[in-house]
Chains A and B, each alone.
Chain A
């Protein structure tokens, strides 16, 4: 059984190149990618995750409004009954020269599990996701061997 992940570009952001690259990289790595594409609202992410039974949500943002667009996403996940889903976010999350550690902290506080700066290699996120998914299974008392063909 492959892990399912919902990915897309949040808000009024229509940068599609990175989205296509991530789709390719995660699919190649063996994940079942549900790509909802650009201009996706929080509700689009959540509805897609519920319907596809997704294990993780990968939120991209490139146009600098990521912080605004992502606010409340975790709360809505909890409200919609998918509180266990892994939330990843990455891209040009904020405008201006801000301290990355500070940005990261703010997104962690919003409930994201992983936060990536611009220029992160897809492999970094793939490795993290693999580890986090295994951890989730262990935490639930399951066995990890042979569960995800992703690795």
Chain B
């Protein structure tokens, strides 16, 4: 049997998944604690031993090994642009689309104070943008001078006005920093271009960050290419929505990942207006969009989740009194390994998850505003209209272990009272019960058919009651 080894170095767990290429199935998987503080290979060795034990009787040959990582803080980035709603926002979306964790977003000319703040944030990469092609180049040149003159040890990606690139290269050379210049994140007004900057970020991640995070040995021994884990999930979403050469994709979809510290939402859809009379305003957001909510999580961020959604909402969702909510949230954020044991605790966890889904999808979705004009009511749409989404895939412990994940995911849908948010209207709910999305994403580029087949087989429809999960038919 020809096997592919898929390894995910997570912040907490190192997961190893073995895929049988010929029979297109997951053979087995295992997870152990990530050991980035000592030697990352130790934890990996343990996880590998576990799968080897499970496969002791089989004859197999490992033909490929693919790796993603979010260990040691993941990929931490700072972005800067000119106008807050334009190039700074485009740069932010590019960073998120590259699988980064946003440490800060800056607009206009950077001040000495900004530079000090960036230094304190200590990102892994700084992305500079500003100006459309042929547009403003003062800002990005000023920012490059200012920040690369002061911070020399952090790699830079410059993706702004192409007319500035010669000057930028000269500045970076003079300051002796590691950099890549690439195509503009916003070549024309309101048009965002993600791929070139994303590739530059991925390359720097490979060339510089991996080593700095203590993953040098992984690169040497396991795989030359290592991508940030969120990028793998995005690739999985893209493949699943778009399909392969031989199979039709699932169409517009949403992936919601509820973690201990953050809630991530990924959408793979165009998001063009569907409401009659709606006019698009501002930045046209990308087909593949990712947002990360750092204040919404099940454990570390339980307290901030309570602050963000409010006691009243949590009370409505859980039926628990305010005192219990206060107590439980502060306890959870202090005890990140806490498992919910009793029925009451499980149910409260699910209420937290529902609140996280609700707010995270609101922030991801576009918004519609009505304008009353002499010509009648018109609608401005900013961001993506998610009403075409008809599949929502949930992942993360609370959903995977829930008896009723659909009840949690339902909170992503449109509410009558808040119809200005362009959330999905009706959808099928799926759950990634075997934590295979990032693994499938790793396979997506080199083995798209295999990756697509595995997702079709292993993502299960979320039962509304306690029905048996149903497998989705392949088209």
Decide whether A and B assemble into one complex: yes
Task: Give me the interface of A with B, judged by CB distance under 8 Å.
Answer: 1-2, 4, 12-14, 32, 34, 36, 38-39, 44, 47-48, 50-54, 63-65
**When the two chains form their complex, are residues B374 and A51 in contact, meaning their CB atoms are under 8 A apart?**
no
Please give the distance in Å from B161's CB to the nearest CB on chain A: 8
Main secondary structure of the interface of B (DSSP, over half): loop
Given contacts A32-B134, A39-B281, A44-B281, contact A51 B378 (CB under 8 A): no
- Is B465 positioned at the interface, with any CB of A under 8 Å from its CB? no
- Is B189 positioned at the interface, with any CB of A under 8 Å from its CB? yes
Query: What chain A residues lie within 8 Å of B373 (beta carbons)?
Result: 12-14, 63
- Please report which residues of chain B, range 82-104, place their CB below 8 angstroms from some CB of chain A when the two chains form the complex: 82-83, 85-87
**When the two chains form their complex, are residues A52 and B136 in contact, meaning their CB atoms are under 8 A apart?**
yes
**When the two chains form their complex, are residues A51 and B83 in contact, meaning their CB atoms are under 8 A apart?**
yes
Top 8 A-B residue pairs of the complex, sorted by shortest distance between their CB atoms: A12-B373, A52-B135, A53-B135, A53-B136, A47-B83, A52-B132, A51-B86, A34-B189
- Contact among A44, A51, A63, A65 with B135 in the assembled complex (CB-CB below 8 Å): A51
Most buried by B among A39, A63, A65: A39
- Please report which residues of chain B, range 120-169, place their CB below 8 angstroms from some CB of chain A when the two chains form the complex: 130-132, 134-137, 161
CA gap between A52 and B132 in the complex, in Å: 5
- Is B475 positioned at the interface, with any CB of A under 8 Å from its CB? no
**When the two chains form their complex, are residues A65 and B374 in contact, meaning their CB atoms are under 8 A apart?**
yes
Given contacts A47-B83, A50-B82, A53-B131, contact A63 B136 (CB under 8 A): no
Q: List 23 A-B contacts (CB under 8 A).
A: A1-B134, A2-B134, A4-B135, A12-B371, A12-B373, A34-B132, A34-B189, A47-B83, A47-B85, A47-B86, A48-B86, A50-B83, A51-B82, A51-B83, A51-B130, A51-B131, A51-B132, A51-B136, A52-B131, A52-B189, A53-B132, A63-B374, A63-B375
- Is B331 positioned at the interface, with any CB of A under 8 Å from its CB? no
Residue of B nearest to A37 (CB): B279
Task: Give me the interface of B with A, judged by CB distance under 8 Å.
Answer: 82-83, 85-87, 130-132, 134-137, 161, 186, 188-190, 279, 281-282, 371-375, 378, 380
- Contact among B86, B132, B190, B375 with A14 in the assembled complex (CB-CB below 8 Å): B375
Please give the distance in Å from A6's CB to the nearest CB on chain B: 8
CA gap between A52 and B186 in the complex, in Å: 10
Residue of B nearest to A82 (CB): B136
Query: What chain B residues lie within 8 Å of A52 (beta carbons)?
Result: 131-132, 134-136, 189
CA gap between A4 and B136 in the complex, in Å: 11
Please give the distance in Å from B108's CB to the nearest CB on chain A: 9
Query: What chain A residues lie within 8 Å of B85 (beta carbons)?
Result: 47
Given contacts A12-B378, A51-B86, contact A39 B371 (CB under 8 A): yes
CA gap between A21 and B189 in the complex, in Å: 20
Please give the distance in Å from B139's CB to the nearest CB on chain A: 9
